[in-house]
């Protein structure tokens, strides 16, 4: 029997710390801005380096009695926050409730931007053109931006930042939200020796499932959320068709900063249905478009700007161009525009079908969720320049594995997880399968929070995570 492919074990040198600057910020915080240099390609160390950026934050304390000058400082345990996406940098530490929750539990927190996003050598159309003049070269560069190399970056930075420490002090903890949880599972698969513990929120990846399987389940969940949305706002059934009819009559509507509002782009604002307050934010955006159409016969700049800024893919292109690739786990995995193909077959998503005129549809038009379609690479100006690159990535089949199921089955690193029963993005059934795969994992499941619970219900999420860590069940 052939041995299943697993992520490659490559030599990982310690990162080079390029610079460090420490200062105080409001909220009794001490923040250090850190720049590191790591290999672009760990399999080809001579291929050059990239820079990673992180913010290390601790509680600013003034002791009543000063420590002796020669007393060695006992380092606080380090926990690394892994941002969701993929494609977005970390929030500034004093702007997220996660910081308070972590510092109050005795950690110092490192917010490290994944390679290619935030300030960590961020990928853009102009940057890729400097990397290579042709689409294949640009695609090859983007292939290096997946979570297997993110894990290697983390290990490289850990060796640098915790240099000189021994035993448990030389390990760190990680916490991953959404895609950040996928990175956690890759870390547990590849380099568990660097970890003390792992926390996952809405991030139990569908290990062993193809992109097609993922989107069949998430389209069902998205359809259910649409039904609830139209139950709350039944007037929006006809409102959406009216807006779609106007967009179709114009052949698309130019957006203020470039790009085009197509029917497909309008329908993708349903990604907010997976978040707290998503229904109301979508309704208000539709109401503004409708009001401007009634009052003036066109969409006003302000109503269009709301839609234009809904998903910031022009500034965060990795989210769009690598989104389906996070489900390509090993040789033979091909995404091939899975969300597009699956969605075209689902009732109420007729707007996805090529050439469809949906304004006169007899059925309600359903919004999509966390899915990327070909239209993204036509209606977003930055993405439009990457259509050929996107096709090359979508049809590639020679992907490196992202997980090691055998290693996860014998995992010794404690993993504490919050899983959302009604998660529109990370299917609860698949998440449960993954939790059952990972030895030494504990899960708190709830139907009282959605995918962004770590922000919308931070206190509850962290209470449950640390209950899993500190309490026991007989």
Which of the residues are catalytic? 178, 423, 451
**Distance (Å, whole) CA 314 – CA 381:** 7
Positive or negative: CA dihedral 138, 149, 54, 110: positive
The shares of helix, strand and coil residues in the chain, as percent rounded to the nearest 5, are 45, 15, 40
Provide the edge-to-edge strand list for the sheet that holds 195-201: 16-25, 29-39, 49-59, 108-112, 78-82, 172-177, 195-201, 415-420, 441-446
Helix ranges (H only) for 233-316 are 236-250, 263-267, 278-296, 301-308
Please, are residues 265 and 307 in contact by the beta-carbon 8 Å criterion?
yes
**Distance (Å, whole) CA 119 – CA 15:** 16
**Distance (Å, whole) CA 185 – CA 168:** 20
**Distance (Å, whole) CA 90 – CA 85:** 10
Residue 269 token pair: 């604002």
A 10 A CB-CB count for 203 gives 29
What is the Cα 155 distance to its own chain's centre? 20
Q: What is the CA radius of gyration of the chain?
A: 23
């Amino acid at each position: 029997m052939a041995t299943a492919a697993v992520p490659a074990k490559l030599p990982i040198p310690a990162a080079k710390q390029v610079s460090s600057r420490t200062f105080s910020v409001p909220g009794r915080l001490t923040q250090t801005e850190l720049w590191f240099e790591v290999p672009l390609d760990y399999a080809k160390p001579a291929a050059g380096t990239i820079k990673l950026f992180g913010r290390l934050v601790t509680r600013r304390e003034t002791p009543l009695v000063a420590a002796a000058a020669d007393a060695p400082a006992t380092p606080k345990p380090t926990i690394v926050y892994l941002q969701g996406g993929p494609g977005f940098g970390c929030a500034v530490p004093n702007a997220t409730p996660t910081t308070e929750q972590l510092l109050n539990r005795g950690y110092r927190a490192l917010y490290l931007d994944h390679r290619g996003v935030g300030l960590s050598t961020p990928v853009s159309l102009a940057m890729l053109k400097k990397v290579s003049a042709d689409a294949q070269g640009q695609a090859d560069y983007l292939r290096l931006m997946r979570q297997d190399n993110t894990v290697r970056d983390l290990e490289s930075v850990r060796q640098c930042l915790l240099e000189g420490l021994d035993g448990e002090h030389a390990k760190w903890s990680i916490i991953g939200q959404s895609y950040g949880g996928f990175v956690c599972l890759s870390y547990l698969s590849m380099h568990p020796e660097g970890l003390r513990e792992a926390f996952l929120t809405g991030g139990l990846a569908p290990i062993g499932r193809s992109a097609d399987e993922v989107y069949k389940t998430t389209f069902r969940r998205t359809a259910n959320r649409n039904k609830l949305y139209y139950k709350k706002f039944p007037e929006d059934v006809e409102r959406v068709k009216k807006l779609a009819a106007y967009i179709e009559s114009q052949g698309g509507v130019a957006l203020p900063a470039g790009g085009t509002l197509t029917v497909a782009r309008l329908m993708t604002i349903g990604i907010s249905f997976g978040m707290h307050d998503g229904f109301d934010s979508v309704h208000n955006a539709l109401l503004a478009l409708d009001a401007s159409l009634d009052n003036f016969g066109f969409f006003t700049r302000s109503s269009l700007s709301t839609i234009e800024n809904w998903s910031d893919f022009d500034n965060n292109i990795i989210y769009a161009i690598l989104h389906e690739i996070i489900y390509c786990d090993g040789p033979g995995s091909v995404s091939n525009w899975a969300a597009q193909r699956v969605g075209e077959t689902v009732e109420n998503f007729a707007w996805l079908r090529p050439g469809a005129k949906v304004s006169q549809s007899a059925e309600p038009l359903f919004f999509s969720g966390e899915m990327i379609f070909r239209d993204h690479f036509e209606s977003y100006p930055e993405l439009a320049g990457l259509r050929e690159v996107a096709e090359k990535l979508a049809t590639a089949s020679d992907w490196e594995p992202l997980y090691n199921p055998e290693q996860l089955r014998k995992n010794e690193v404690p993993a504490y997880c919050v899983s959302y029963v009604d998660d529109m993005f990370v299917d609860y059934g698949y998440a449960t399968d993954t939790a059952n795969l990972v030895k030494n994992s504990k899960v708190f499941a709830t139907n009282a929070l959605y995918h962004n619970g770590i922000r919308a219900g931070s206190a509850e999420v962290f209470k449950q995570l640390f209950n899993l860590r500190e309490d026991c069940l007989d």
